[in-house]
Structure 1
């Protein structure tokens, strides 16, 4: 019997050859916002994925959250990414870029003239970040005005158009893990009293506007969105995730997006709710309990067997095993990832993980 992991899957205008998705993973190896030839090698090594979703990529200068992350808001950045997409497509792979506006998870040291990061409300994360000056506290962000919100929507549109210029098959909107879209959704980071805050309908407004605008610009079949209900990363607290995400999924459903990418955070009930409400492709990064820190081939197979999703995203397994589908078919062995090389550095822990036939 053929594993469900190796069944094909229609996704927009694509047909994925398997249901093993490479999850987005920040690697902090860009230079001055530009992807490098080493990144082209890294992603091309993993072109056997049903779909690659790239590391978080800022759609504007003020959207950058970490040092040495790539951007997609200039022609030069699009051209640098083109080397990556060409390399992946030469290996018959498929690749979406994740657009990640970090919101309050940023620092003035990253921005011209020391500008403050932007957020729905002027509430600091309480966290810290690595900067060229060492570890520094996230500052209290500047609350976005309506013109800032409109600009953020336009920045996502422009970045999505650059993604098409760069040869991507589509874009994923990062609405998870405590970044800007998630900050609008969560009631502890969104204390606004206007049309973008307060009620559930108001708090989902920004996410829906971005998804619709980007879909209108490049085609909804080229747009996915990542969500993480109940995730407390980056100081997020959601007092009642179920009705929030039920309303969001119902509002997104008519847009005919390519997929919803769900990062589970110990809330299987919300996963089941979203599965019932979402009419399209659901990609799941399964974590049935908060203690579950990684996805195994067995847990990936299990959620597909249960019908909880249509494809499964994996992170560290893809990081350390460029030929992951072949290794799963063979029953292993699997390379162990080296956490010391996750962020920054050179080829070590990036492009030098061996394949089975090495």
Structure 2
């Protein structure tokens, strides 16, 4: 029997770290490539504000992925959080969200090898754990006949980070977390999923190092854990979340033993007191039952490993959720459900879920780049 809105856990309040959320519907991070010059703008402020009123929108918004340093950029027109100008520009976005009654955290990002020399300072090679080129594409925007035209291209060959460069990476995340609060964000989510830099260090497929940051699980997890320690010390653990994707093949991410890897990671994270863990189940934006290694991934065992180690942060699930599946996940022990693409075309998604209203399908042609079309022009339900 389907629960009513009054009895559904999805619409019940929850304390998550520093935040009192009125319900459990979270807006997942969505890269939209609408920040020319790597600066947030008024159009972005409108977009986030449209989805910020928790009465019909998100209880918590996770911003689009936001690079922590110039080398962290890997896609055209993504807004950074590493310069005073970017911090100031983000303030208009966070002010608009707060004026609508919402909460927003900044997703902190370093793409690592998922980049192109055209997007790197001085046209240099992207950085990575090892000099292994990903079988992946990135997004460039070029001016053709006076018009800005976007296209997907193969990523560039990366170079391996030197050991003496890694402390700077850690500090870039910590400084970006401080910048986020200065910009008016309510907290941060560290992006360690989908084959980007921190995920690249975790996985055997992209990390061939033989020093203290490669080889056994404990070494491959070292950079992520150092980043999380620095970020929680910078702004307090109750304003920090973390995103993981144990088995996604996104951006050529691969590890043949994901279960012990990610169970080790969450056990080490447990004592840090994070506000939440955000888990992408299966293939990002694809099959929920996708697996790597010999056995299907056991997400319940992952959550138990975290709880048994003392982890008290909220458990957020993500990937292909509708209301029925969300209610099932909450009944089985999840705390929050993140919705991505449905929020693109349904700014009032929570109301539609609560009242059983039909959802508008997004126009995939407008996902990346462009202006208001497919971004701020989706209507609310009557």
1:145 to 2:162 alignment: yes
Q: Distance in 2 between matches of 1:29 and 1:132?
A: 11
Q: Which ranges in structure 2 are unaligned for 5 or more consecutive residues?
A: 1-5, 143-150, 283-288
TM-score, normalised by the number of residues in structure 2: 0.89
In structure 2, the partner of 1:290 is none
- 1:259 corresponds to: 276
Q: What corresponds to 1:92 in structure 2? A: 101
Aligned to 1:35: 40
Give the Cα–Cα distance (whole angstroms) in 2 for the partners of residues 270 and 26 of structure 1. Answer: 28
Is residue 176–residue 182 contact of structure 1 (8 Å, CA) maintained in 2?
A: yes
- Asked if 1:206 corresponds to 2:223, the answer is yes
How far has the Cα of 1:128 moved from its partner?
Answer: 2.6
- Give the conservation status (yes or no) of the 8 Å contact 1:8–1:18: yes
Distance 2:370 2:140 in 1: 15
Q: How does 1:179-328 map to 2 (within 5 A)?
A: 179-265=196-282, 266=289, 269-278=297-306, 279=311, 280-286=313-319, 294-307=320-333, 309-328=334-353
Root-mean-square deviation over aligned CA pairs: 1.2
* Structure 2 equivalent of residue 289 of structure 1: none
- The structural deviation recorded for 1:244 is 0.2
1:70 paired with 2:98, answer no
2:121 to 103, 112, 119: 112
Who is 2:69 aligned against?
60
Q: 2:188, 2:239 within 8 Å by CA — same for their partners in 1?
A: yes
Structure 2 contact 247–297 (Cα < 8 Å) conserved: no
When normalised by structure 1's length, the TM-score is 0.95
In structure 2, distance between residues paired with 1:281 and 1:269: 20
User: Is contact 2:81-2:87 (8 Å) kept?
Assistant: yes
Summarize deviations over 1:186-228 as a string: whole Å, max 9, x none.
0010010010000000011111000000100111111111000
Number of equivalent positions = 349
Seen in structure 2, the aligned counterparts of structure 1 residues 130 and 124 have a Cα distance that, compared at 3 Å, is same
Measured after TM superposition, the shift of residue 43 of structure 1 is 0.6
- Assess if the C-alpha contact under 8 Å between 1:30 and 1:69 holds in 2: yes
Task: Write out per-residue CA displacement over residues 70-128 of structure 1, whole angstroms, 9 at most, x where no aligned residue.
Answer: 00001110111111111111111111110110000001101222111100000000223
> Which of the residues 181, 189, 213 maps onto 1:164?
181
Runs of 4+ more than 3 Å apart: 132-136
Contact 1:229 1:270 in 2 (8 A): no
Name the residue aligned to 1:349: 374
